[in-house]
Amino acid sequence: MPDNPDGLAVPPTTARERLRASLLSRPSRGQWIVAGLLFSLGFAGATQVARQSDDDLTGLRQTDLVRAFDGLAASTERAEKEIDRLKTDRDRLTSSTNSRQTAVQLAKQEQTALGILSGTLAARGSGVRITITDPESKVTAALLLDMVQELRATGAEAMEFNDRVRVVAQTSFEDSTQGIRVGGQSVEAPYVIDVIGEPGALEGALDFPQGPLERVEAVGGTLTTSKDDEVVVDAVVPDRAPQFAAPDSDR
Same-domain check for residues 19 and 107: no
Q: Give tens-digit pLDDT for 202-222.
A: 999 999 999 999 999 999 999
Distance CA 69, CA 1 (A): 64
Greatest Cα pair distance in the chain: 105
Greater model confidence, 9 or 153: 153
- Cα 14 from Cα 223, distance rounded (Å): 79
Number of domains in the chain: 2
Q: What is the mean pLDDT of residues 48-67?
A: 60
23-32, 108-117, 234-243: range with lowest mean pLDDT: 23-32
123 and 201 part of one domain: yes
Q: Is residue 3 part of a domain?
A: no
Where b means 16+ CB within 10 Å and e means fewer, 41-61 reads: eeeeeeeeeeeeeeeeeeeee
Angle between helices 62-95 and 99-118 in degrees, nearest 10: 150
Residues 23 and 86 in one domain: no
Q: Are residues 198 and 148 both part of a single domain?
A: yes
Please check whether residues 141 and 224 belong to one and the same domain. yes
Q: What average pLDDT does the structure give for the chain?
A: 80
- Residue 201 lies inside a defined structural domain of this protein: yes
How far apart CA 206 and CA 151 sit, in angstroms, is 8
pLDDT tens-digit profile of 117-146? 889 999 999 999 999 999 999 999 999 999
101 and 38 within one domain: no
Domain span at residue 222 reads: 61-237
**pLDDT tens profile 226-245:** 999 999 999 998 877 778 88
